[in-house]
Structure 1
Amino acid sequence: MPDQAALPDTVSLSVGGRAVADYVWQPRLPRTVSPRPFLHPVRTLAGTEVTESMPEDHPHHLGVSVAVADVGGANFWGGRTFVPGHGPVQLPNHGTQRHHDWTARTSTAVRHELRWVGPDGTELLHEYRRIAALPLSGQAWALDFGFELTNVTAGPLTFASPATNGRLGAGYGGFFWRARRGDRRVHVLGPERTGERHLHGRRTAWLALTGSGTDPWTLIFVAADQPRRTDLWFVRSRDYAGVGSALAWTQPLVVAPGGRVRRRIVTVVADGRLRSRQVADLAGTVAAIPAEAAQS
């Protein structure tokens, strides 16, 4: 493995020779956004960007990342912290996700170890992350994003969210994708229902966003390797466009010392506004892709 200090801070991922995503693995960001590695821009095969990073409305939204609002009291989401009885408050409690070591780094896949460090410098979590760009068709490719978090503290570690702390409907925290809206109208699709109102806070096998207008696109999020569909979806389509797989919605997630949290989200990135049947077919295809495929 080459000297990490000499490596650029961004890894470009490609499908069929076309650059489809930039992974910023060692970002230089203000502490208030909870610095962490992220993917941006992510593009369709035709080159349409489908992520936003540090938008004016939420400067702590960083393309595609793993972000949790409350891990043992540390903010790994960025921005303000929801405090019961006070609402959102800016606190000096922001954590940082630091790159530790590469285990693989190619034009189609990256795998590395990270350290989640609290505001006082204490390591709370060790993470193993795996990201791969997989070909699907001439119109679509898939971003396979898996992570494993290990509690390295001496006691139980609690994952919480504004919802578990009292803010209704705000169960965000985990894998999160901030989509690029632009002047598009964004639609939300699910296996049986459509619309943000019907799919926000729901468990479904998949969830999709479609962007109409110039250069339309479709994003299909599939919770892979989760036969019980553990997490609820967090989705926004009106004030902004974003989708997350929530680790703690109705109650905190408590992880014992040495315990692990594993998640894998496979996202189809397609050109065009796909129809419901096309979306369902693609969701079924990527749900069947084994995690090992991303390591070949």
Structure 2
Amino acid sequence: MSTDDVLRTIELGTVEVALERDGAGTPATSSPHPYLHPVRTLGRTVLTAHHPADHDWHCGVGVAIPDVDGVNCWGGPTYVRGEGYVWRDDHGRADVLRAEHLPAPRGGGTVQELAWRGPDHTVVLHEDRTLAWRVVDSGWELTWSSSFRAPGNDIVHLGSPGSNGRVGAGYGGFSWRFAECADVVVRTADAQGEEAVHGSVAPWVEWSAVFEGAPATVRLEALDHRDPWFVRVAEYPAIGSALAWREPALVRPGVPFVRSFRATITDGAVLPGNTLDR
């Protein structure tokens, strides 16, 4: 069982809506990194899982990357072109070096500096991360922005199984592993269902489901990019943004590589058959 320490308790009013954990107690083969778990609605419904039996390296809400110049910063086996998934001693980690907590109207925020490291602890990527949260009319809102920087004068390649040859498996970047749920409706403005939404490019993706008897909805918006959405429903419940769907993303020296998202977390679910626009 993970013994990850709590970095920050996120509260809105009297409700603890999320805990930020450092990942320090996560096994090395699951590529330790900070993440949010549990994430709750204002009605206190838990929406995240962490270290599930099917994929120990899936941790709540966070950012993980399967291939950072050959370092597995996702966890689990590494996808190798022509070989499939192979267990290797190539697991990295991401550590919070500095954090500043910021007050905000009806919410709060934090600014963090992270170092992504290889198995030998060499820094392979820098990240400046900003989180902000606030109450909104429909529930509460989480904004997440990750700005990546190359540690030296060389281009850093951010890859995935998709960019390494596994078709349709370009996962990596911002990810949300949901708690066990039923009656899932996953959609964008013009598509619905796992097959239609997976790999699609749309301004937002929405996940509605019933969690331990309580319906809830998460709408995830891409704020500054148009990466494809990664979706799993039948195998396990998760959504994410695929920053290296078919080709590696490049972090060039002196040029920040930014990915920002806004999640709106609401009590109540979209019923199957409802119209796709809201």
Q: TM-score, normalized by length of structure 1?
A: 0.86
Q: For the Cα contact (< 8 Å) 1:63–1:179, is it kept in 2?
A: yes
- What code does the residue aligned with 1:189 have? R
- Report whether the alignment pairs 1:251 with 2:250: no
1:290 maps to what in 2? none
Q: Quote the offset at 1:105 in angstroms.
A: 5.4
Instruction: Return the structure number with greater helix share.
Output: 1
Q: For the Cα contact (< 8 Å) 1:208–1:279, is it kept in 2?
A: no
Equivalent residue of 2:214, what SS? coil
Q: Quote the offset at 1:43 in angstroms.
A: 0.2
Determine which of 52, 74, 78 is the counterpart of 1:77: 74
2:215 maps to what in 1? 216
Q: Following the alignment from structure 1 to structure 2, what is the Cα–Cα distance between the partners of residues 236 and 188?
A: 9
Equivalent residue of 1:155, what SS? coil
Q: Quote the offset at 1:133 in angstroms.
A: 1.6
Q: Following the alignment from structure 1 to structure 2, what is the Cα–Cα distance between the partners of residues 203 and 197?
A: 13
Q: Quote the offset at 1:25 in angstroms.
A: 3.0
Q: For the Cα contact (< 8 Å) 1:152–1:258, is it kept in 2?
A: no
Q: Quote the offset at 1:255 in angstroms.
A: 2.0
- What code does the residue aligned with 2:176 have? W
Determine which of 237, 240, 245 is the counterpart of 2:236: 240
Q: For the Cα contact (< 8 Å) 2:20–2:37, is it kept in 1?
A: yes
For residues 164 and 26 of structure 1, do their structure 2 counterparts lie closer, same or farther at Cα, with a shift above 3 Å needed? closer
Q: Following the alignment from structure 1 to structure 2, what is the Cα–Cα distance between the partners of residues 89 and 193?
A: 34
- What code does the residue aligned with 1:172 have? Y
| 1:262-283 C-alpha deviation (Å, 9 max, x unpaired) | 11111111111136989854xx
Q: Quote the offset at 1:242 in angstroms.
A: 0.6
* Higher alpha-carbon deviation: 67-76 or 213-222: 213-222
For residues 277 and 140 of structure 1, do their structure 2 counterparts lie closer, same or farther at Cα, with a shift above 3 Å needed? farther
Q: For the Cα contact (< 8 Å) 1:186–1:238, is it kept in 2?
A: no
Q: Following the alignment from structure 1 to structure 2, what is the Cα–Cα distance between the partners of residues 212 and 185?
A: 6
- What code does the residue aligned with 1:135 have? V
Q: For the Cα contact (< 8 Å) 1:103–1:113, is it kept in 2?
A: no
- Report whether the alignment pairs 1:47 with 2:57: no
For residues 279 and 166 of structure 1, do their structure 2 counterparts lie closer, same or farther at Cα, with a shift above 3 Å needed? same
Q: Quote the offset at 1:181 in angstroms.
A: 2.2
Q: Following the alignment from structure 1 to structure 2, what is the Cα–Cα distance between the partners of residues 71 and 128?
A: 16
For residues 231 and 15 of structure 1, do their structure 2 counterparts lie closer, same or farther at Cα, with a shift above 3 Å needed? same
Q: Quote the offset at 1:132 in angstroms.
A: 1.6
Q: Following the alignment from structure 1 to structure 2, what is the Cα–Cα distance between the partners of residues 230 and 77?
A: 21
Instruction: Return the structure number with greater strand share.
Output: 2
Task: Provide structure 1 residue ranges, at least 5 long, that are not aligned to the other structure.
Answer: 1-7, 282-296
Q: For the Cα contact (< 8 Å) 2:187–2:193, is it kept in 1?
A: yes
* Higher alpha-carbon deviation: 153-162 or 36-45: 153-162
1:170 maps to what in 2? 169
| 1:149-170 C-alpha deviation (Å, 9 max, x unpaired) | 1011331111111011011100
Q: Following the alignment from structure 2 to structure 1, what is the Cα–Cα distance between the partners of residues 114 and 97?
A: 5
* Higher alpha-carbon deviation: 47-56 or 247-256: 247-256
Q: Following the alignment from structure 2 to structure 1, what is the Cα–Cα distance between the partners of residues 179 and 200?
A: 23
* Higher alpha-carbon deviation: 106-115 or 48-57: 106-115
Identical residues among aligned pairs (%)? 36
Equivalent residues in 2 for 1:1-296, closer than 5 Å: 9-25=6-22, 27-104=24-101, 108-137=108-137, 139-182=138-181, 184-212=182-210, 214-224=213-223, 226=224, 229-274=225-270, 280-281=277-278
* Higher alpha-carbon deviation: 8-17 or 207-216: 8-17
Q: For the Cα contact (< 8 Å) 2:159–2:249, is it kept in 1?
A: yes
Structure 1 residue runs of 4+, over 4 Å off? 275-281
Q: Following the alignment from structure 2 to structure 1, what is the Cα–Cα distance between the partners of residues 63 and 246?
A: 19
Aligned length: 269
Q: Following the alignment from structure 2 to structure 1, what is the Cα–Cα distance between the partners of residues 9 and 102?
A: 10
Q: TM-score, normalized by length of structure 2?
A: 0.91
Task: Provide structure 2 residue ranges, at least 5 long, that are not aligned to the other structure.
Answer: none
1:285 maps to what in 2? none
- What code does the residue aligned with 2:131 have? I
Q: Following the alignment from structure 2 to structure 1, what is the Cα–Cα distance between the partners of residues 144 and 205?
A: 16
Q: For the Cα contact (< 8 Å) 1:142–1:267, is it kept in 2?
A: yes
RMSD: 1.9
Q: Quote the offset at 1:114 in angstroms.
A: 0.6
Q: Quote the offset at 1:247 in angstroms.
A: 0.8
Q: Quote the offset at 1:85 in angstroms.
A: 1.6
Q: Following the alignment from structure 1 to structure 2, what is the Cα–Cα distance between the partners of residues 94 and 212?
A: 34
